[in-house]
Structure 1
Amino acid sequence: MNHSQTKNLVGTALCIALGLILPQVFHLIGAGPVFLPMHIPVLLCGLCFGWPFGLVCGAVTPLLSSVMTGMPPLFPTGTAMVFELAAYGALSGILYRKLRKNIYISLIAAMVGGRVVAGLASAIFYGVAGKAYGFQIFLTGAFVTGLPGIILQILIVPILVIGLEKAMVISKPTISKV
């Protein structure tokens, strides 16, 4: 295993750990669903280490959190979050590395794409669970309740990535084919 691969694996493990710890801190002050703290390390992982690592981080983090802390409840919320966060991690990595190199466009597009995946997964899993879920619930959960978290992500995530690139902790991506 080369140095770069080791750095990516260690960075992904750190992002998973942050994805377990940050929600606990935010839930202590009752701000978890509003600030979406599990999303931040997953988006960072995809942007910093690439889409495969972001996808794994996004899929593993809500499952581990559910098993270890009971938050989110495994079904249907946690299961839907697996798909949502996996999409965030994968899309942020793909868009940043393969297509545009513009961190803001990549981040916002990944956030929108992940929310679409969340809506579809939630519609399926909530339906299987016999719980109400519709377009109004989707819009409220994805955009209204989480608006402070969306703003926080747009402000904090690019600053962290750009800072890590400037400090040469991670490499600035080059454009490559998908």
Structure 2
Amino acid sequence: MRSSAEILIGGLFMALALALPQAFHLVGLGSAFLPMFFPIILSGYLLSLKISLGVALVSPLLSALLTGMPPLYPPIAFIMMAEGVVLVAGPYFFYQKLKINLWLSLVITILGERFVLLLSIIIISKWLRLSGVILGFSSLIKGLPGLILIFTAIPPLVLKLRQKIETSPLLSQG
């Protein structure tokens, strides 16, 4: 993909990562459906590591500064930044570089992201003097609807968007 097109698509994914959570938070479903993760994961599947890391790291921080969600304290925004790194590095390495099956790469990526979430919560719960087991378990369970949606929506979106990128004279190499 041309670098200017890749930057443009990265900007689009970042805008989506800022806008989608607002729609879900209006009805109180942001933390259940994980809306910021959708464009972040897509960037990992479709863009270079450098651009997708930008999307993953800047989106939660910018959203926190502009809207207060995710909060900076407790440091949910920073946890989401760590999760975002996994959500773009997994697809980039497993799918784009190692050519592992789309579904398997998504499973590995989500398992890695859930591990980072759990580890982050355990560390932060000790810092805040809370029960890490209860907090960690509730965080893992609360995101289940979003994970189901991710496994349902991301693979067909990746395939369709990759096809569009490869056939577009504006986006493809050349």
User: Which TM-score tier does this pair reach, normalised by the shorter chain?
Assistant: 0.7 to 0.9
C-alpha contact (below 8 Å) 2:126/2:132 kept by paired residues? no
Equivalences for 1:107-146 in 2 at 5 Å?
107-128=106-127, 130-142=128-140, 144-146=141-143
Which of 15, 27, 30 is the matching residue for 1:17? 15
Residue type of the partner of 1:96? Answer: Y
Deviation by residue 1:96-116 (Cα, 9 ceiling, x = unmatched): 111234111111211111121
Moved more, 60-69 or 26-35: 26-35
Could you tell me which residue of structure 1 aligns to residue 25 of structure 2?
27
Contact 1:80 1:125 in 2 (8 A): no
1:148 aligns with 2:145: yes
Partner of 1:71: 69
Is the 1:91–1:110 Cα contact (8 Å) retained in structure 2? Answer: yes
More relative contact order, 1 or 2 (CA 8 Å, 6+ apart): 2
Determine if contact 1:35/1:149 at 8 Å carries over to the other structure: yes
What SS does structure 2 have at the residue aligned with 1:74?
A: coil
* Contact kept? 1:80, 1:121, Cα under 8 Å: yes
Shift of 1:73: 0.6
Deviation at 1:133, TM superposition (A): 4.6
CA separation of 1:28 and 1:124: change in aligned 2, threshold 3 A: same
Identity of aligned residues (%): 35
Any conservation in 2 of the 1:12–1:57 contact (CA below 8 Å)? yes
Unaligned runs of 5+ in 1: 172-178
Kindly provide the amino acid, as one letter, of the partner of residue 86 in structure 2.
A
Whether 1:163 and 2:160 are equivalent positions in the alignment is yes
Match of 2:89 in 1: 90
1:8 aligns with 2:12: no
The number of equivalent residue pairs is: 167
Distance in 1 of aligned mates of 2:125 and 2:52? 25
Unaligned runs of 5+ in 2: none
- Measured on the aligned residues, the alpha-carbon RMSD in Å equals 1.8
TM-score by structure 1 length?
0.85
- Residue-by-residue CA offset, 1:93-146 (whole Å, 9 max, x unaligned): 111111234111111211111121122223333433x2425134223212x111
